[in-house]
Amino acid sequence: MSLVNYLVLSGILFSIGSIAVLTRRNAIIAFMGVELMLNAANLTLVTFGRLHGDLHGQVIAFFVMVVAAAEVVIGLAIIVSIFRTRGSASIDDANLLKS
Amino acid sequence: MNAALEISTGEAVLFWVLAPLMVAGALSLLFAKRPVHIAVSIAGVMIGLAVMYIMLEAPFLGVAQIVVYTGAVMMLFLFVIMLAGVDSSESLVETIKGQRGIAVVGLLGLLILVITVLTRASLPPAVGLAQANADTNPVGVARLIFGDYIFAFELTAALLITAALGALVLSHRRRLSPKVGQAELAEAKLAAYGKGGSAEGVTPPAGPGVYARHNSADMPALDAAGNPIDDSVVTVLRVRGQEAETADLDADRVARIATGAPMVPELDGAERADRAELDEQAETTKENEE
C-alpha cells in the first residue's frame, strides 16, 4: 500500500460530493455534498503533507476547517431564512431573482 | 533527507476497513431519501476521516476534525434538518433537461481522470512526518500557525466573529404584529364573551378525575348531567385509547357517592369513647398550662 490510496479515496469522496451537489434538489443535502468535497480536499492536503514530510499541508487543512465552519453557519442561516419565508428547502424554489 | 517512509501492515488493514465504510457512507448522499439518515452517515464519514488523519501522523487535525465536524457542523446540520426539512420530499423534476445524466457522466469522467493521473504520476518517495513531528504534532503545527501563518490566523478570528454576527442577523426575524401575552389573551377572550361569544376559554376547562380514589389523569371529569367530558383527559391518552371508563370504577362506591353519604367511615362505640377521652385530656392540659 502506498499513500496514493489515500489520494484515490479523496478523489472518490470529492466526486460523490460534487454529484450530490449537482443532482440533489434539497438545499441541506446539497450543502452536505459541499462539506464532503471540502473534507476530501483536506484529506489530499494532509496526505501530501506526509508525502513531503512537511507540516504546511496540515496547517492549510486547519484553515480550511475554520473557513468551512464559518461557511456552514452562514449557509445554514440562509437556508433557514429561505425556508421561513418560502416554506421550502428546495433549491429550485429559490428563484426570486429570476421571476 | 530521511529514509523512505514505510507504511505498516496495521495502517494498510485499517485503511482497507475504513475506506469502504466511508465510501458507503458518502454514497448515502446520492441514494438515501431522508436527510436525517444522510446527516448521520456523513457524520460517520467525518469520524472515518478523523481516524485517517491520525493514521497520517496528524493527530491534532484528527481531534479537531471530530470536534469541529462531527461535534459542531453535523449537529448543526441535524438541528437545521429538524427545523426546516425533516419531511421535505424531493421533487424529481429536472429544471435543466438532462442535467442529472450530464452531471453523473461528467463527474465519473473526472473521477477516472483523477485516479489515472494519481496512479500514473511519479510521486517522490514518501518522507513521513517523523522529523517534523519530533516535538509532537500539535507543537509542530502551533509553531507554523503562530509563526508563518500568524496573519492568516488573526484573519480567521475576524472571520469567525463576522460569521457569528451574520448568522444572528440572518436568522433574526422582525416581529410584524405586537406580541400577544397572557394579559392580552385574557382581555381578548373576555371582550369576545362580552360581545355574546361562547364562554369557552373564559371558564377554565375541566380537569380529569371524578372521585377521591380515581383522580388519575386517565379518568374523564363528569359534567352536571353525569356524562364524561372527553376534553378533560390529556390528548395523548385519548389518542392511545388509554382513557378509563366510568364503568371501570367500583360500582358500590359510585352508588354510595350518589346517595350523598359521607365517605369517611363511621366510628364504632369503643373508638368514639377513646376519641372523647383524648379530647378531654387535651383540654385539661391546656387549662393547666393557663
Contact call for A74 and B170, based on CB within 8 A:
yes
A6-10, A85-89, B215-219: segment of lowest average pLDDT:
B215-219
Indicate the number of domains in chain A: 1
Asked if residue A55 is part of any domain, the answer here is: yes
C-alpha cell at B251: 360500582
Q: A58 — contact with chain B (CB < 8 Å)?
A: yes
More confident residue, B242 or A30: A30
Domain final position from B68, B85, B102: B85
Asked if residue B120 is part of any domain, the answer here is: no
Asked if residue B282 is part of any domain, the answer here is: no
Asked if residue A62 is part of any domain, the answer here is: yes
At how many degrees (to 10) do helices A27-52 and A56-86 cross?
180
Indicate the number of domains in chain B: 2
pTM (2 d.p.)? 0.71
Q: Measured between alpha carbons, how far is A34 from A42 in angstroms, rounded to an integer? A: 13
Asked if residue A99 is part of any domain, the answer here is: no
Asked if residue B138 is part of any domain, the answer here is: no
Asked if residue B201 is part of any domain, the answer here is: yes
Query: The cell 440572518 sits on which residue?
Result: B170
Domain final position from B51, B85, B119: B85
Contact call for B84 and A89, based on CB within 8 A:
yes
Percent of chain B at pLDDT > 90 equals 31
Give the pLDDT score at B84. 79
Residue B284 has pLDDT above 50, yes or no: yes
Distance of CA A77 to the CA centre of its chain: 16
pLDDT confidence bin for B1, thresholds 50/70/90: very low
Asked if residue A32 is part of any domain, the answer here is: yes
Contact call for A83 and B90, based on CB within 8 A:
no
DSSP secondary structure string for all residues of B54-123: HHTT-HHHHHHHIIIIIIIIHHHHHHHIIIIITTPPPP---SSTTHHHHHHHHHHHHHHHHHHHHHHS-P
Give the pLDDT score at B254. 63
State yes or no: ipTM above 0.90.
yes
pLDDT confidence bin for B216, thresholds 50/70/90: low
Asked if residue B164 is part of any domain, the answer here is: no
Most confident of A22-26, B16-20, B203-207, B277-281: B16-20
Asked if residue A91 is part of any domain, the answer here is: no
Question: What residue of B is the nearest CA neighbor of A37?
Answer: B26
**Closest-CA distance of chain A to residue B235, Å:** 28
At how many degrees (to 10) do helices A56-86 and B150-171 cross?
10
Q: Measured between alpha carbons, how far is B35 from B80 in angstroms, rounded to an integer? A: 10
**Closest-CA distance of chain B to residue A39, Å:** 8
From the list B251, B247, B248, B245, the residue with the least C-alpha distance to B233 is B245
**Closest-CA distance of chain B to residue A95, Å:** 11
Asked if residue B31 is part of any domain, the answer here is: yes
Of the CA atoms within 13 Å of residue B197, those in its CB half-sphere come to 13
- Best interface-test mutation with A: which of B49, B75, B148 has the largest number of A CBs within 10 A? B49
Distance of CA A21 to the CA centre of its chain: 9
Domain extent, residue B51, equals: 7-85
Q: A77 — contact with chain B (CB < 8 Å)?
A: yes
What's the CATH code of the domain at B39?
A: 1.20.120.1200
Question: How many angstroms separate the first and last alpha carbons of chain A?
Answer: 54
Residue B185 has pLDDT above 90, yes or no: no
Residue B236 has pLDDT above 70, yes or no: yes
Residue B62 has pLDDT above 90, yes or no: yes
Q: A86 — contact with chain B (CB < 8 Å)?
A: no
Average confidence (pLDDT) over B234-261? 66
Give residues with Cβ within 8 angstroms of B75, minimum separation 6.
none
Asked if residue A97 is part of any domain, the answer here is: no
Domain extent, residue A18, equals: 4-86
Q: Measured between alpha carbons, how far is B6 from B71 in angstroms, rounded to an integer? A: 33
Asked if residue A92 is part of any domain, the answer here is: no
Q: Measured between alpha carbons, how far is B229 from B222 in angstroms, rounded to an integer? A: 6
Contact call for B166 and A31, based on CB within 8 A:
no
At how many degrees (to 10) do helices B35-55 and B9-31 cross?
160
Residue B225 has pLDDT above 60, yes or no: yes
**Closest-CA distance of chain A to residue B54, Å:** 10
Give the pLDDT score at B146. 93
What's the CATH code of the domain at A13?
A: 1.10.287.3510
Cα dihedral B142→B147→B151→B153 (10° resolution): 0
Asked if residue A96 is part of any domain, the answer here is: no
Residue pLDDT, tens place only, B110-166: 999 999 998 888 888 888 888 888 888 899 999 999 999 999 999 999 999 999 999
Residue B212 has pLDDT above 50, yes or no: no
Q: Measured between alpha carbons, how far is A82 from B153 in angstroms, rounded to an integer? A: 32
